[in-house]
Structure 1
Amino acid sequence: MAQEVRGVVAPGKGERVRVETITVPDPGPGEAVVRVQACGVCHTDLHYKQGGIGEDFPYLLGHEAAGLVEEVGPGVTEVAPGDFVILNWRAVCGRCRACLRGRPWYCFDTHNARQKMTLGGRELSPALGIGAFAEKTLVAAGQCTKVDPSVAPSVAGLLGCGVMAGIGAAVNTGAVGRGDSVAVIGCGGVGNAAVAGSRLAGAARIIAVDVDDRKLATASALGATHTVNARAQDPVEAIRALTGGFGADVVIEAVGRPETYEQAFYARDLAGTVVLVGVPTPDMRIDLPLLDVFGRGGALKSSWYGDCLPSRDFPMLIDLHLQGRLDLGAFVSETIALDEIEAAFDRMQAGDVLRSVVVL
């Protein structure tokens, strides 16, 4: 039987979000209803609200979530009612050319629930196919990854997007290894997760770059060995000075702007790797001398969702957190209620928080 629950809706481009009563249908084949316990406030949700991702309003916001499976539809075997799960926005198909080549983290046919949640009979567009600023949400069962239920939902959900994107950019995409030097440009939630991931991978030197000393302090707590305030120093020269004049083995750009990407390009060592995990806007362009691209060698990579495979990476990272080797709690600046999300967006834009987390 369809259920009515509270959810946070972005009604139109640039409009304030509202807490509304939405309808969640019974799960159909391959679908699951999840009772949301916690959901992080991610910059992507703000992009949806501002119309920066699409114009399929109204949007049901929220996607960085954890909760309990309440009900599953026909044919679901991955999870069962009562399972504690982290939600993901790239449920792999298992059939596309990437999956068949044994690279499911590149899946070209990821999927979401077929049915739509509604508001007054009007279909809602769930953010990243999840829509978890709600007491309950409908997703594809493949979007649910079962993890150890002893972890706090407020930290588990962070792996659903930003923290996984950053850790994966270092560990999966950048292939940071023992003894490497790493520079991370942009130390918001994703960038600082890249710092933590580089530490997990055994990097010897981790250089955090930002214009906000508060974010640099967090980077130090998460494993950065050196910090650079780009307002006070040229980041390229500073990174080179800290790496014997050569540049870093891996440079992770977590801002998504042409000027910071160019800094990343010139701050890496010869044959080094640049990883772009910051999300640019459609109008942005980059202009680099092609001879420099050729002559410096190495690799220029983009990282989608940290090239993660949720079934592989989420349980592993939760285990590392429970062992005390990955402090997911360090990313949580505050916990809030559903009706405080608009104010949380303001604090995020002002740089006052690393992550606000809605706890239901």
Structure 2
Amino acid sequence: MPYEVKGVVALSKGAPVTIETVIVPDPGPGEAVVDVQACGVCHTDLHYREGGINDEFPFLLGHEAAGVVSAVGEGVTNVAVGDYVVLNWRAVCGECRACAAGKPWYCFNTHNAAQKMTLADGTELSPALGIGAFVEKTLVHSGQCTKVDPAAPPTAAGLLGCGVMAGVGAAINTGGVTRGNSVAVFGCGGVGDAAIAGSKLAGATTIIAVDIDDRKLEWARGMGATHTVNSKETDPVEAIKGLTGGFGVDVAIDAVGHPAVYEQAFYSRDLAGTVVLVGVPNPTMEVTLPMIEVFGRGGALKSSWYGDCLPSRDFPMLIDLYLQGRFDLDAFVSETIPLDAVEQAFQKMHDGEVLRSVVVFDK
């Protein structure tokens, strides 16, 4: 029979979120119900609340989550009841042209649950990124469940579901950062700091953090930045060149998603270097670059969507590195909060007071 649980819902554009009764159906074919144990508060959830993704209100927010599978539908073989999982929004189809080309991390037809969760009056909810995890139980496609080692606490493991994976993947998967490289990361929030941590993990020897907030730059040092640049006080392009023998970095990562920042990243890279855009711009933004510079500098201009990750490959690997003490996921957790503190967490995130607030469900 359906489950009646409490969840965080954005009922209309820009309105404060509210705690609502959510009806979660029994899982159908290919679906799973997950008891959520922890879920990070991500900028994407705020974008949904502000109508920056689409206008399919009401939204059931939350997507950076870990928990335990409590029920599965017909035909589910990849997970079973009792499995500890991190939820992902790239449940690859295995059939689209990207999957057929052997590049499932670009899957163009990812799976979501076929059934809808609803409010108590029957109003259908749009789950954030097809997950909706600011809720005691959520319904997802079984492919959105990635099994990981249960020794990792859900407060840490759940962060792989979006922001941390986006940043780490931007450095390693998209940017191809490797040992001995120089890297500049613009924007030192959760995604940018994850790109810094990923660059360190990959063996980069010069990692330059760029931000306008000295507090965030200090956080970046803790994640592995070897140098910091306050771009409100210093020209970041000149500073980066000064730290790299006048050449620029091998990989420049824009974790902000703003035209001015992207231009700084473009000019701060070495010849044949790579620019990676992982920060999400708004639809009105445009960037203008001289074509002769695009041609003459060579290299690559790339976008990184979800860190070009393959959850079944990357999540267990990063959890193993965490348990070995080589990748500090706990450092991203600024605070743990109850479900009814999400609105306040949005404000703290907006004000730059936290890397991640994490909702913890008291079981």
Please state whether the residue corresponding to 1:9 is helix, strand or coil: strand
Normalising by structure 1, we get a TM-score of: 1.00
**Matches of 2:235 and 2:153, distance apart in 1:** 40
The equivalent of 1:205 in structure 2 is: 206
C-alpha displacement at 1:349, in angstroms? 0.4
Q: TM-score if structure 2 supplies the norm length?
A: 0.99
The 2-side partners of 1:354 and 1:177 are apart by 25
Task: Give the aligned partner of residue 88 of structure 2.
Answer: 88
2: distance between equivalents of 1:165 and 1:337? 25
What is the CA distance between 1:214 and its match in structure 2?
Answer: 1.3
Runs of 4+ in 1 over 3 A off after TM superposition: none
2:234 — aligned with what?
A: 233
Once the two structures are overlaid, the 10-residue window that deviates more, 187-196 or 209-218, is: 209-218
Taking every aligned residue pair, what percent have the same amino acid on both sides? 74
CA distance in 2, matches of 1:214, 1:317: 27
**Deviation readout 1:312-360 (Å, 9 max, x if unpaired):** 0000000000000000000000000010000000000000000000000
Q: Which residue of 1 aligns with 2:76?
A: 76
1:66 equivalent in structure 2: 66
Q: Deviations over 1:5-35 (max 9, x none)?
A: 0000000000010001110000000000000
What's the offset of the Cα at 1:94? 0.3
Please state how far the C-alpha of 1:218 moved relative to its aligned partner.
1.1
Q: Which residue of 2 aligns with 1:318?
A: 319
User: Which amino acid in the other structure matches residue 19 of structure 2?
Assistant: V
- SS of the equivalent of 1:283 reads coil
Q: How far is the alpha carbon of 1:111 from its aligned partner?
A: 1.4
- State the partner residue of 2:197: 196
Structure 1 CA distance, aligned partners of 2:86 and 2:291? Answer: 42
Q: CA deviation at 1:179?
A: 0.3
The residue type paired with residue 335 of structure 2 is E
- DSSP-derived class of the 2:285 partner: coil
Mapped pair 1:38 → 2:69: no
Q: Deviations over 1:177-226 (max 9, x none)?
A: 11000000000000000000000000010000001111111111111100
Is 1:109 paired with 2:109?
yes
Instruction: Output the amino acid matched with 1:323.
Output: Q
Q: Give SS of 1:123's match.
A: coil
Please show how residues 40-189 of structure 1 align to structure 2 within 5 Å.
40-119=40-119, 120-189=121-190
Cα distance in 1 for partners of 2:319, 2:243 equals 33
SS in 2 for 1:150: coil
Aligned to 2:37, what secondary structure does the other structure show? strand
Corresponding letter in the other structure for 2:196: V
Alignment correspondent of 1:305: 306
User: Partner of 2:250: helix, strand, or coil?
Assistant: strand
- Alpha-carbon distance between aligned partners in 1 of 2:50 and 2:176, rounded to the nearest angstrom: 34
CA shift digits 1:266-315 (9 cap, x unpaired): 00000000000000000000000011100000000000000000000000
Report the residue type matching 1:249 in the other structure: D
CA distance in 2, matches of 1:138, 1:277: 28
CA displacement, residues 123-177 of structure 1 (integer Å, 9 cap, x when unaligned):
0000000000000000000000000001100010000000000000000000001
The separation in 2 between residues aligned to 1:304 and 1:22, in whole angstroms, is 30
Give the superposition deviation at 1:243. Answer: 0.4
Following the alignment from structure 1 to structure 2, what is the Cα–Cα distance between the partners of residues 87 and 141?
9
Aligned residue identity for 2:262: Y
Partner Cα separation in structure 1 for residue 139 and residue 103 of structure 2? 27
2 CA distance for matches of 1:97 and 1:349? 38
Q: How far apart are the structure 2 equivalents of 1:164 and 1:140?
A: 20
Q: Secondary structure of 1:227's match?
A: strand
Aligned-residue offset at 1:114: 0.5
Query: CA–CA distance in 1 between the matches of 2:113 and 2:215?
Result: 39
User: Residue type matched to 1:30 in 2?
Assistant: G
Question: Which residue identity does 1:109 align to in structure 2?
Answer: N
5+ residue gaps, structure 1: none
Paired letter, 1:191: G
Summarize the alignment of residues 278-297 of structure 1 with structure 2, pairs less than 5 Å apart: 278-297=279-298
Q: Distance between the aligned counterparts of 2:251 and 2:83, measured in 1? A: 38
Q: Which residue of 2 aligns with 1:264?
A: 265
Partner SS state of residue 217, structure 2: helix
Number of residues paired by the alignment? Answer: 360
Post-superposition Cα deviations, 1:227-257, rounded to whole Å, max 9, x if no partner, equal: 0011111111111100000000000000000
Letter in 1 for 2:208: I
- The worse-fitting range, judged by mean Cα deviation, of 301-310 and 215-224 is 215-224
Q: Which amino acid aligns with 2:294?
A: V
Deviations 1:24-79 (A, max 9, x none): 00000000000000000000000000001010000000000000000000000000
Q: Which residue of 2 aligns with 1:332?
A: 333
Distance in 2 (alpha carbons) for counterparts of 1:262 and 1:21: 46
